[in-house]
Each structure stands twice: as C-alpha cells, then as structure tokens.
Structure 1
C-alpha cells in the first residue's frame, strides 16, 4: 500500500503568551491527501485555516509550538531542521499567498523573483532562469509575458500580481500546492480566470492542492474534499458534494445558509449570530455551542468526540448520526 502524499497526525499548535500560558490555537487535526487530490479548508476568519497552512509550510511564527506529525512523502516536517525544511519548501511544497502585493518584493522585477528560486535551488544561470520565468508567466496566462517580466510589482494589476505569485509557486514543480485565499480582493472575472489557471495546473501537473477559503462557491468548484474548521477544531470533513448538500454539523449548515442566493424568494440573508470566540476564552464543551441554534444542555458538558458516522464522513457533534445525547 502506497503512502499518501501528505499525512497530518494529531496536529496541535499552541502559542506562547507573555504570562507563560500556552493556549491551544489549533488542536486535534488529522487528515491525509493523496497525490493529485484537492482539499478545501473553510471556516470564518479566526478559525485557524491559514495557521494550518503555515504549519504545513513550516512558516509558523517563533511563538508557535506545534506538536504531532506532518508527514510529506513519509518525512516529518516538524522534525526537520531549518536547512532541510528550506530544501523541501518550494521544491516539494508551493505556497500562493493571500495578498500578492505584500508577498512580492517591491525592489525586484517579477521575472527575477520567479527566477530566484531556480537559481538558488537548481543552480540555473540567471539567463536560463529568466527564460524559464517567461515560460511560467505564459503558462499562467500573463499577457505580454516577456515585457511584463521586467516590470516591478507596483506596475501590475491585482490579477497580474496573483499570476506572478502562482508562477513563483510553480517554479520548482512542487508535488503539493497550498493556495491561501488566492482570489481575495479580485473582481469576479479575474477570480474566475485565476481559478481556471489553478484547475488546469493541478490537473495537468498532477499536483495536490490545498485551497484555503471562506468562499463555499470556490470550494465547490475546485475541491473534491472539504474540511470545515472552527476555533481551531475540525467540525466536519468529507466529499465536497456531501458536505455542501448534506451537512452533518450545525456550523456547516450555518455557513451554507449565509451564502447569498440569486432566487428572489430566498428572503433575507441568514447569518450566524456572534463571532468566533477568542482562543483564550473558549466556551465549555463544544466550541460552537454559544452560537449554535441547535444546542442542548449536553453541548456545554464536554467537547464532542470526532466520529465517522458513515464511511468517508467525519464530524464533531453530539447530534451526529450514531451519537447518543447524554
């Protein structure tokens, strides 16, 4: 039996505070991802989506304390030293940042930023790497790629900068691509173009994709499987079509009710009351209990366990099929 491309086992991330406390920000995350598979991670802002992506990349801040295992092709990323991790990052894992303007170096041309990794990691000459950078810009459908490769980030539009970010992530031909809100602040036309590019690239190159987003429409279009996070906990996971059409957790149902509908009879947009709680002040029991319209007294007694009520469907809720409410 072949091992999965990525396996996360019991990942938890705590943060050092000045008072010496280490509240858990992310806890009990386990998942697998096969080569060529697409996984969407959804949840409100503050749910831990980007932190999970940074953990896989080995880019957590110094105050973060991860435990568990993150196995990429059988190698534990959390056990690697910085030098080894740098050789994996970029070469085996690519990252597309949420805001390309702040991710790009304003003092370098975009062509040189794409070429830099190939010069450092693969030993290409700058001339050869710059030629390859133009090829990559063509591949991500950058108009006038040769000319714009000599431009600086401030001279490009948001959609063009995101294409540069994708080209940088592709430069080392990674096995896993992580896209953290790649369509944020893009208009709908450019968003569709960027998603088309990602779809084509992952399919043609056989790369696995982890797509972090709060947009369920993007997840439905791009991802075969979906993981729902809330307050650093996984609340539901399964095939995207199942999660979005037959959600098992009240939080997932709340997210779906909040999606705008085009039908005139859809009525007033429904929202989830309240906000994601602070990690230092989580409610007792289920972390979603204070906002859940389906809560009962037992929800506050203890945190629900993670169960698999049907094959391929994971959920954390005492109301899940097969769970007995105390």
Structure 2
C-alpha cells in the first residue's frame, strides 16, 4: 500500500490518502462511507498499528473503482506533501553506513578509514523535512559545499524499546525515499547537526510504502542524479548495518515511537568524495529514487 499526505488545493487542509492506480483516495472519507472511523492524518493512522493497514486494504478492495465522489482525485491534480510533513522528533540519521562511502569520506572529510563498529548516529530537526518538489535552499553566506545523499527511510510503526535484531522489522510501518542534504563546511568540532540539520535539508516522499510490500528492505536499488548526470547508484544490500540492526541498536537507549524516521545512510558518490569535488549551486536540480518506493525531484535555490 502506498500512503501519501496531500492537499486537494493550495488552500485545503493536509489529508491522508492512499494511492491506487494513479488515483489518490482519501482514507478518512472511504472509511466514513463504510462506517469505519479512520483518521485523516498520517501519524494518527500509523499509531493505529497494523490492524489499520489491514482494514484499509479490505476497504480499498471492496470499493475499487467506486470511490466516494468527494474522496478521490487523480494524482496529477493534487499537491503532495512529505508523507509525515512535521515529524514529532528529529529524524535519526545514520552516517558511514556503506563501506565505499566510509572510504570516500575518509579521503575527503577527515573521517576514520576504519569501518564503524557501531552505527554512527546523528539527527536532523523536523524543520529539515520538505515536500516532493519543494526547493532546497542554498545559503551562500553559510555554505559553499552543499552536497547530496540518497537514502532509504524506515518509518517506525510500533513503539520500540530494547528490541532484538530478530524482532526489529516487525516494528517497521513502512519505507520512503529521503535525500540527506549536507553542508560539508558546516561541521562543528566533529558534530554534524548544523551541517545536516538546516532548513530544507531532508526532502522526503513521495509516499510511504507499507512494510508488507517490502518484506526485505535490503534488496532495494537506489540512485541520484544532478542535472541529469548520475552520481550515485547502489543497492541497500550493501549497508554496513542493516535496517534491523539499526532499529535494535537505537532502541537499546532511545525509545522509538510510531512515526519516527530513520534515514539509513547513503552509498558512495557524494560530491565531497569526487575528484575534483562537486557541490550544488542555485539552478541545479537533483533527482533521487529508491526503486519500488518513489522518486524525488528538487531544485536548488538561493536563500
């Protein structure tokens, strides 16, 4: 199932929809027609747990092609927001999680060439999250080294506290595409949050694909281009710490709540790792995709 947060018009409220054959079906309205109370917000739906996904699936099958008059719109006519437009907590970022990216970072960013023995964790504030197509802001007074990183995002569905690796994937609600934007020259005393956490630095979407459709998140291709030129292409099988390991590790000391987001790391091919180095400027356009989930396209604008 592909879930989106959308607006029918620029002035309309943000609502939860499910994407079916090119149509965005309003979740609360299809539930109301069937006498089943379903929420109109993504976070509220995630909190209902797996039973909500099952129930919605049944409603979609029963109503397919006979959508509520006020509850179904063609995808091109809606405005998509980030699936979780305003996360309740910081996004959990994972650094140095692909072996080749460890190597390129050690050459260009003075990080250790040794493979991490535990996940390297940083965070991105909720204000970094932007909708598909929104501009990424380049602040020339702050950075001259704006860089790209395509990533798989894992969305937590059930409160996870001290879970084992064996049970960890059962706590995942679904997956999305993320771009972890980074101002490489804004690291401070080895800390990454200002580099990674500036406004607009976490494009997300266009949807959340529920976990039942991706039983193994370590089989997904992902890629990124700048102005149509491919910069990154890899597969999540090459993660150093897999999704289940990340959830198990974080949850040992930090409770993961429904709707929490883990950006699982990027493969090689970032601008800082190239020779010569390449960074983004206003006028550039980046596109990124986790294949089977969805594509993002964002212009870089001066701010």
Q: Do Structure 1 and Structure 2 share a fold, with TM-score over 0.5? A: no
TM-score bracket, normalised by the shorter chain, equals under 0.3
Pick 1 or 2: higher relative contact order, CA cutoff 8 A, min separation 6: 2
TM-score (norm 2): 0.22
**Which structure: larger Rg?**
1
Which has the larger helix fraction? 1
Which has the larger strand fraction? 2
TM-score (norm 1): 0.21
